[in-house]
Amino acid sequence: MQVDTGTDWMAPSVRLWRMRRAQIIAVGLVAALAAGVGAGVAGGAGLGVVSGVAVLVIAAVSGVFLHRKFRSWAYREREEDLLVSRGVLIRRVSVVPYGRMQFVEVTAGPMERWFKLATVQLHTAAAASNARIPGLERGEAARLRDRLAMLGEAKAAGL
């Protein structure tokens, strides 16, 4: 859903998808191997191959789902507020005014660091606001953090 007909919607880096793909391939291969060997020892080679392939198919399906989920992420900086749009099954769009921001958090887990990515999260006084943008390239994350912090200070409002 597009809230405005604005053109400056931005998406997370394509490296986020590469990271997710690497994760699903790694997990899928290990799980398929384990399932295949386990079932093979217990019920013969045929069963082993079937269960290994089944796990791989599940991994592939969730890969497709993860790709759609990755593509659903979008954010847009407007003059007064930040829009974050996400979700495939449940579509969500959050509007967070800069003046309501209490602080901006930039985090990068081990996997994200490996792929040179970071997650930017906005915190307001409302627990539900929770505007999170994952998979930003480091430069973009730093730019967004600085811009949000600056705008938050300029437009700050009390409770």
Partner 1 sequence: MTEPPGNPVTVPPGPNEQWHRLHPLSPLIQAGRLLAGLLSVLIITLAQNLHRGYQARIPDLILVVVLVIAAIVRWLVTRWRLDGSTLRIETGLLRRDSKQLPVTRIQAVDVVRPLLARVLGLAELRIRLAGSSDRADGRLAYLTEQQAASVRAMLLAAHYGLDPATPEPAEQAVSQLPAGRLVAASLLWGGLTFVALALVVAVVAALAPWHVFVGLLGSLLVYALGLATATWRRISSSFGFTVALSPDGIRIRRGLLGTVAETVPVRRIQAVSMVQPLLWRPFGWCSLRVDVAGHAGHDEGSRNLKKDLLPVGSTAEARYLAQLALGHEAPAPSKPPRSARVKAPLSYHFLAAGHDAEMAVAVTGRLTRTTVWMRLEKVQSVRYVQGPVQRRLGLASVYADAAGRRVHAVFRDRTAQEAEDLLRDLAALSRTARRGETHEAEVRRFPVEPGGGE
Interface residue list for partner 1 (CB under 8 A): 1, 3-4, 80-81, 89-97, 99-100, 102-103, 123-129, 131, 157-159
Task: Tell me the closest approach of the beta carbon of residue 109 to partner 1, in angstroms.
Answer: 21
Q: In what order do the strands lie in the sheet with 131-137?
A: 101-107, 117-124, 131-137
Of 19 and 131, CB closest to partner 1: 131
State the DSSP code for 115.
T
Of 30 and 125, CB closest to partner 1: 125
Q: SS3 of 82, please?
A: strand
Whether 36 contacts 51, CB under 8 Å: yes
Task: Tell me the closest approach of the beta carbon of residue 70 to partner 1, in angstroms.
Answer: 19
Whether 13 contacts 118, CB under 8 Å: no
CA distance 74 to 76: 7
Of 123 and 147, CB closest to partner 1: 123
Task: Tell me the closest approach of the beta carbon of residue 88 to partner 1, in angstroms.
Answer: 9
